[in-house]
Structure 1
Amino acid sequence: MKLISIVTGCFNEEDNVDELHARIRAQLERLPAYDYEHIFIDNASTDGTVHKIKALAVRDKRVKLIVNTRNFGHIRSPIHALLQARGDAVIAMASDLQEPPELIPEFIAQWEQGYRVVAGVKPSSHHTTAMSFIRRFFYATIGRISDTRLIPNFTGFGLYDRAVIEVIRQMDDPYPYFRGLIADIGFEHAEIPFVQPRRSRGISKNNFYTLYDMAILGITSHSKIPIRLATMSGFALSALSLLVAIAYLVYKLLSWEQFSVGIAPVLIGFFFFASVQLFFIGILGEYIAAIHTQVLKRPLVVEKERVNFDASPPA
């Protein structure tokens, strides 16, 4: 029997893990030709999430749990769990029930047709109009400037063949932008559209900082356009400044007594060029920070404990 691994990251999701487990189990029971394991990775929840998952693991030995020593974030933790999966195919989804487990049979059907990647894409959602607009704008922007073609409206929810997981393992990226990573690998993929429902229980763990971090990570990992735009803009503004300076000098020499520059143009030019410099120094800083993260080579997570794993963690 082929083994399907379901991987779900969680942080303070005590209200959702029981229903999530039940819905995933119901879908896999409809597919008796497959065995499965359900791996939860918990980012040091402060509520009863770990207790509830341990109770599930006692009743269902297919449920496995990894508990991190602290919250390692929504980027590193899910990737670590993917690398622990043993399945012939691995399905990644969030634990907030906004990514429907009912798509699992369709994912597997597309995988059996030969697709190494089956991506769940959300062309629409039940988010607020403002949030939906911001997300669409970001996906459209990063899609245009990325060095590789990204999957539109793809958040990471989907199925990945064992070959894809092994390529990710070989990349050994300590802070990966997963959506871009899948595009970089380049396997032919299928897309399954779905409408993302509103969160029914609990609150979103994303805030401005986490969304900003994800956006900057995507840009710095998969596009050189911002840093090259900074370079080209620097050359262009330098040339413009030189031309303006020459024009002022010539005009002053020709009309020495009549022409008075005044302080206003000096102040306006100073603050304009200072703001431009600070903006592009900030872009440069983001790229340096990304390089710094790669050079540190820290582990994705540090585990506190494991439940229902028979073997020691892979190297």
Structure 2
Amino acid sequence: MPWSIACRSLLVTPALEPSRFDKAAEVGADVGLLDLEDGVPRAFKSEARRLATEHLARGRWARPMALRINSLRTEEGLRDVLALLDSGARPDAVLLPKVESPVELQQLEALLEPRLPDVALLAIIETPRGVSAVDAIATATPRLQALVFGAADLSAQLGIPLTWEPMLYARSRIAMAAGAAGLPAIDSPCFDLDDLAGVEEETRRARALGFVGKIVIHPQQVAAVHRALRPCSRTVDHARRVVAQAEEGMGGIRRLGGAMVGPPLVTAARRLLANEHLMEELESSPRRPSSRTGDT
């Protein structure tokens, strides 16, 4: 069940703020993400659950919508699932946080299957146990359509800084597991709301590891993330020349300019150009409706 939705940017909105539920469409984020977990104090979980499921049950929104529930290892997570099933809501995806084993995704799949058989699952890897089990988690179910890195919780649990170097091992493990399973890897948010240059730099570093998107927590971060995910024009031009040379029948290992080019680099160039074409399509289509548009 492929999730044919670009996920360069997922804009988080706490589910207590319905006036912001459609913000993703306004600012050009690929996916709107309603949050029932960290963005909602425990005392307001029930109200947030009601607001989110009512919005998702309407089935008409200008951007694909995802719902982050609480961990299935908690009472609130179980209540989230029951509310989702009883409400008639049909999000495009459900994000499961703090995933530590394949069983959690399989349990969620079994719960959703009778009423929501086509809703995608996304797994947030944000604990030491989750990072250790990420390879098994990545292949838990065909419903899983992306791995998401959660740096803040991992930093808190390990008692280490929320900076690039301490988080590099976890990012690399998650990107490698996602790549091996054929899944997109989506990076953790950048929590400095005033440093858009820092958002771009962090996104470029994550892209270099294999991440294809990023969670964003402020509308201003969306454009910065999208810019950083696009390769520079020099890189695109080089990829075009590599592919052109290959299509002229010049196989094997050849010299192109000052670089040696072989079959693996041709494959990489084709992938880069395919991604660049997708980026161009996304930029030229500012309002793409959710797959649920028109549902009742």
Which structure has the larger Rg?
1
Pairwise TM-score range, normalised by the shorter structure: under 0.3
**Structure with greater strand share of residues:** 1
Give the TM-score normalised by structure 1.
0.24
Q: Which has the higher contact order (CA 8 A, sep 6+)?
A: 1
TM-score, structure 2 normalization: 0.25
